[in-house]
Amino acid sequence: MMEIPLVVENLSFRYRDRQGAAIHNISFEAKAGEVLLIAGASGCGKTTLIRAINGLIPRSYKGEMSGKILVFNEEVKDWKLSQISQKIGTVLQDPERQILGTKVVNEVAFGLENLGMPREEIYKRVDEALEFLKISHLRQRETFNLSGGEKQKVALAGILALRPSIVLLDEPLASLDPASAQDTLDAVRTLADQGLSVFIVEHRVEDVLRIHPERVMFMSEGEIRYLGNIAGLSKVVNYREVKISAEEIEERAKQDPAPAEIHVLPGAASKGPEAEALVKFEDVAFGYDLEHEVLHGINLEINRGDVIAVLGPNGAGKTTFVKHAIGLLKPKSGRVLVDGHDTREASVAQIAQMLGYVFQSPSHMLFAPTVREELAFGPTNLKHSKEQIEQEVKEALRIVNLSEKENDPPLALSFGQQKRVSIAAILAMRSRILVMDEPTAGQDYQNYMNFMDSILQMPAFEAILFITHDVDLAVIYANRVLMVNDGKLVADGKPQDVLRDFDRLKANRLIPTSLLALNLKRFSATGRFMRAEALAHV
């Protein structure tokens, strides 16, 4: 009889500093050659389950644990982490926490070197892993200069080079452009077809369903609520929490009341239309080194009332472009004007009163001992009054649904919660323009819809700009779409004009979604793009 790669029996765990169990009475087995999708709202216990399987619980995360984990019929509680990592490979949610090597080739070789493998075997496996993920061109690149999506792929290559039997992927698509996500999922499908057991924890459920996972596990409040085939999933999940296809959401939302209308950026309307652009790019070019130019001749204006989605492939220059708007980078030629002032002559503190920036990786932002202190830091430096700070912190926490976490250490929270803390830290500063890099990475559907709805209705903001790989985020919230590729602005216009060109989407590594298709189908009746829940009531 064939050995079962993984058996989990009555597994429960409570973190040392927290009330109540994070997971309780989890039992299941994983077969060789299957993809198991694990879905559920943020904080439902998905990441805790992954940490228990890969041995980080109880070795790195302390608390009370009961139950058994068997890998190929052996209980792993007495194994060393080095032993576990040869059988079970994990790609963390935030690749920043996983990457240690300065060059890509060194990073992918790191695990193999620790196992004392011969040099020839190491290079052979490194090249195979890079080729398998279609990233051989990154081999000699410095990891620090890679985009978030490229880092995600490099982290996965480092795991695949170890040739584990079980692969755990925690939000592997969070930083990837849609075409890269598709490539990664195709690679995952191939791995499973070659006999590996693959677990995918993912909020982008619709994307994963394209590779036909053998089974889906739906978790809620630390328990398994459903474990079975894909067909049964949509019947048991709350469509507001787990993002299913637009057609299914539309069908189910017909039974519910219509969602409330959102009044976008009331602050912009109250200030009245003024001719002066809030931010202006004039023929901006930039490169991190002399030989390699990243941005080429960018010209555009950000005006009051703009809600701008910035789309484009991994490594296209989106984050570099946005960092120019906030003065973190200065152009090599051309200029950027913020509120009429050249960013070369303004300090970052001055620009911060105009623009607030949420980084792609929350670990680049978070440092304070508690969430409350984290949120108070910016307003304090901007010399807001004590009463004002109190109010700003409270409101920011309410918007991101973290009021009960104000005394927790930010870096002890889940990745999705850290992301929300980093957004709340900028909300509390009340800058006039909000700039967010991948705001919905690691967020469940309900959380991201709630905080995006709240942010867009805040009177403090005059314009919002967000970088995203989530085409649906652009469909639902943007009134303007910028498409960036190879350091150039390749499109700028209304979502319905930019996103209807499927050939252009494909050329920019974007994939049409079921929501985009549904909106284009209904556009003659609606005259605008809407969320699926609203389309149900048109």
The pLDDT value recorded for residue 434 is 92
The closest alpha carbon to 309, from 85, 145, 139, 463, belongs to: 463
* Mean pLDDT, all residues of the chain: 90
Q: Can you tell me the mean pLDDT for 495-508?
A: 95
Question: pLDDT tens digits for 41-56?
Answer: 888 899 899 999 999 9
The pLDDT-based confidence of 275 (bands split at 50, 70, 90) is low
User: What confidence category does residue 270 fall into, taking pLDDT thresholds of 50, 70 and 90?
Assistant: low
Q: Is the pLDDT of residue 5 over 70?
A: yes
Listed as own residue / partner, the contacts of 404-412 with beta carbons closer than 8 Å and 24 or more positions apart are: 405/371, 406/370, 406/371, 406/372, 406/375, 407/370, 407/371, 407/372, 408/370, 408/371, 409/369, 409/370, 409/371, 410/362, 410/366, 410/368, 410/370, 410/371, 410/374, 411/363, 411/366, 412/17
* Cα 357 to Cα 188: distance, rounded to the nearest angstrom: 34
Residue 179 is predicted with a pLDDT of 87
Which band of pLDDT confidence, cut at 50, 70 and 90, is reported for residue 274?
Answer: low
pLDDT tens profile 141-183: 999 888 777 888 899 999 999 999 999 998 888 778 888 888 8
Say what the pLDDT of residue 55 is. Answer: 93
Ordered domains of the chain (ranges, CATH): 6-237 (3.40.50.300), 266-535 (3.40.50.300)
pLDDT value at 500 more than 70:
yes
The dihedral built from the CA positions of residue 517, 519, 525 and 527, taken in this order, carries a sign that is negative
Read off the pLDDT of residues 343-398 as tens digits, 9 standing for 90 and up.
999 887 788 889 999 887 888 888 899 999 999 999 998 889 999 999 999 999 99
**Opening angle at CA 40, ends 37 and 41, nearest 5:** 150
When pLDDT is averaged across residues 198-204 and rounded to a whole number, the result is 92
Task: Give the DSSP H/E element, type plus range, for residue 174.
Answer: none
Say whether pLDDT at 407 is over 60: yes
Lowest mean pLDDT among 132-136, 239-243, 519-523: 239-243
Residue 280 has pLDDT above 60, yes or no: yes
Q: Quick one: three-class SS letters along 304-339? A: CCCEEEEECCCCCCHHHHHHHHCCCCCCCEEEEEEC
Higher pLDDT among residues 416 and 329, named by residue: 329
- In terms of Cα–Cα distance, which of 274, 288, 420 is closest to 358? 420
What is the model's pLDDT at position 148? 74
Dihedral of CA 483/489/494/500: which sign?
negative
| pLDDT value at 26 more than 80 | yes
Geometric angle at alpha carbon 55, from 443 and 408, rounded to 5°: 45
What pLDDT is attached to residue 165? Answer: 94
CB-CB neighbours of 31 under 10 Å: 14
Which secondary structure element, helix H or strand E, spans residue 153, and what is its range?
helix 148-160
List for the chain the helix, strand, coil content (%; round to 5).
40, 20, 40
